[in-house]
């Protein structure tokens, strides 16, 4: 057990350093959530005048979307980093080394989780400086970090699985396209009561909606335990599925 912890710790530090390079990539992954937050919160501010729109500020309503986007951007590079390890031969060296193979996956997932939490913190800071708020205070902020870290690991596992199956950077990078439907077919623009038709049905079955609503509860509504619990439950289920997929792909790629 001690050996597994040491190996995981080493690979976690290595994965964290890898995810922080180059610095320009970090700037872009922070810039995009902040950009969408500033532009959309100003462009759609008048939507709060619609009957049934309970939030008095669109900035407050849209803030969780910026946080969710930070998670997507921070965890989307995990698959690319893994492809680099595969094509450079680094992963082959790890496979013949006397280490637990599960430490390779756990270490990288932990690095993704920490990066997701770090970028979430920065975006929350931008939101607060822009006039947003955290209805649940510091305790709620800690819960947001935990949820975003958990979902970041779950999301990153998709890219890692594709990387192991294809060993191709372009194919792995294309998985990022999932970000758009999973983010925007949610309550990101309007609350659920104002949606209708097939779009409303799609929003309700989209698991990311539960994550978004949990963050929204923590930032603007308060301690809505059923909503928050549902968000964590969905993140755990999605993580169980995607991480199991990574482990299966790992065994197929390196039998």
Q: What is the pLDDT of residues 169-187, one digit of tens each?
A: 787 877 777 777 888 888 8
Q: What is the pLDDT of residue 227?
A: 93
Best CA proximity match to 128, nearest among 72, 70, 188, 59:
59
Condensed to tens digits (0 to 9), the pLDDT of residues 181-238 reads 888 888 888 888 888 889 999 999 999 999 999 999 998 888 999 999 999 999 999 9
In the chain, where are the structural domains located? Answer: 2-253
Count Cα atoms within 13 angstroms, Cβ side, for 128. 12
CA distance 231 to 250: 28
Sorted by sequence, the CB contacts under 8 Å of residue 235 that are 6+ apart come out as 147, 150, 151, 154, 211
pLDDT of residue 188: 83
pLDDT at 207 (0 to 100): 92
**Per-position b or e across 95-105, b if 16+ CB within 10 A of its CB:** eeeebbeebbb
Closest listed residue to residue 143, CA positions, set 29, 60, 73, 231: 231
Output the pLDDT for position 159: 86
């Amino acid at each position: 057990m001690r050996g597994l912890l040491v190996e995981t710790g080493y690979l976690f530090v290595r994965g964290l350093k890898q995810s922080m390079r180059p610095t320009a990539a970090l700037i872009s992954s922070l810039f995009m959530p902040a950009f969408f937050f500033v532009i959309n919160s100003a462009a759609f501010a008048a939507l709060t005048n619609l009957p049934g729109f309970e939030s008095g500020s669109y900035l407050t309503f849209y803030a969780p979307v910026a946080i969710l986007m930070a998670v997507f951007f921070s965890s989307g590079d995990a698959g690319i980093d893994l492809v680099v390890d595969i094509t450079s031969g680094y992963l082959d060296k790890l496979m013949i080394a006397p280490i637990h193979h599960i430490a390779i996956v756990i270490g990288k997932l932990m690095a993704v989780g920490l990066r997701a939490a770090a970028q979430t913190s920065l975006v929350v800071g931008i939101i607060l400086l822009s006039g947003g708020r955290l209805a649940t205070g510091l305790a709620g902020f800690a819960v947001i970090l935990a949820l975003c870290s958990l979902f970041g690991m779950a999301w990153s596992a998709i890219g890692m699985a594709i990387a192991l199956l294809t060993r191709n950077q372009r194919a792995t990078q294309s998985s990022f396209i999932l970000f758009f439907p999973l983010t925007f077919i949610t309550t990101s623009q309007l609350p659920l009561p104002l949606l209708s038709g097939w779009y409303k049905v799609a929003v309700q079955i989209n698991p990311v909606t539960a994550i978004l609503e949990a963050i929204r509860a923590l930032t603007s509504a308060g301690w809505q335990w059923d909503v928050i619990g549902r968000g964590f439950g969905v993140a755990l289920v999605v993580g169980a599925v995607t991480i199991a997929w990574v482990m299966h792909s790992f065994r197929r790629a390196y039998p």
